[in-house]
Amino acid sequence: MALFARKPNGASPLRRQFGETVGARLDANPAVKRFAVDGAQIYQHPDFLDAATCDALVAMIDANKRRSTVLAEENIQEFRTSESCDMDRWSPDVRPTDEAIAHLLGIDPVQGETMQGQRYAVGQHFRAHFDYFNEKQAYWPQMIETGGQRTWTAMIYLNHVEEGGATWFPQIGIRVGPKKGLLLAWNNMNRDGSRNTETLHEGMPVVSGTKYIVTKWFREGKWIKA
């Protein structure tokens, strides 16, 4: 497929372009701060979502949660122990947040996957992983059909967690503790559009309390077909 044409290391003009345009847009937003690291483009918006909207999303996650799954063909029993649910993008309770995230990043909402709600109880975690797809795995042809590679990730912490539950990027040395309403966004690609291994990250175990987040992954192409 010409749209996803790329070099062997995954570099592609399309993927590079998302790094440039989204990065420039976030850099220009005074409410957003970039982390001072070279290894990846990673940003935070400390007050992205108001408390009432966070609370409403938490209630929806509690009402719809199921055991989380992952794509990799590995033994994943202990890999992602949280519970998750799909957040219906057309629901009037979800749509404004869904579209606000896309608008913040300047990515067409049709490139955003269905937003995922996640709930971590004490001891639950999401072990170190990459959000981008492994193009050698059996699932990749199916991912091409649904919009290709993941470029940017955005996640929002929906509540205060008493202890634990930070998001940790061990290779770039960033650890972000849950803060209600804070949005974290990062580019899973390098500047040249190749997959950035520095974006390895982990949802650390919750020590005390419960952690709620929503995550949105953006594709290089369209997730929603017209």
- Which residues of this protein are in contact with Fe ion, per CB under 5 A? 131
Looking only at the bridges linking them, the beta strands covering 201-203 and 183-187 are: unpaired
Report the residue from 213, 218, 220, 221 that binds ligand AKG according to the rule CB under 6 A.
Answer: 213
Q: Report the chain's terminal Cα–Cα distance, integer Å.
A: 18
Q: Name 125's Cβ contacts closer than 8 Å, sequence gap at least 6.
A: 80, 81, 82, 202, 203, 204, 205, 206
Residue 215 near ligand AKG by CB under 6 A: yes
Closest approach, Cβ 71 to ligand AKG, in A, equals: 11
Closest approach, Cβ 202 to ligand AKG, in A, equals: 7
In Å, how far from its chain's centre is CA 149? Answer: 13
Q: Coil, helix or strand for 109?
A: helix
x-or-dash string of contact with ligand AKG, 69-88, rule CB under 6 A? --------------------
Reported residue count of the chain is 226
Residue 131 near ligand AKG by CB under 6 A: yes
Residue whose CB is less far from ligand AKG, 117 or 148: 117
Which single residue is written with the structure tokens 């372009």? 17
The answer to whether 106 touches 21, Cβ cutoff 8 Å, is yes
Which 167-206 positions form the footprint of ligand AKG (CB under 6 A)? 167, 201, 203
Residue 156 near ligand AKG by CB under 6 A: no
Residue 126 near ligand AKG by CB under 6 A: yes
Interface positions with ligand AKG (CB under 6 A): 126, 131, 155, 167, 201, 203, 213, 215
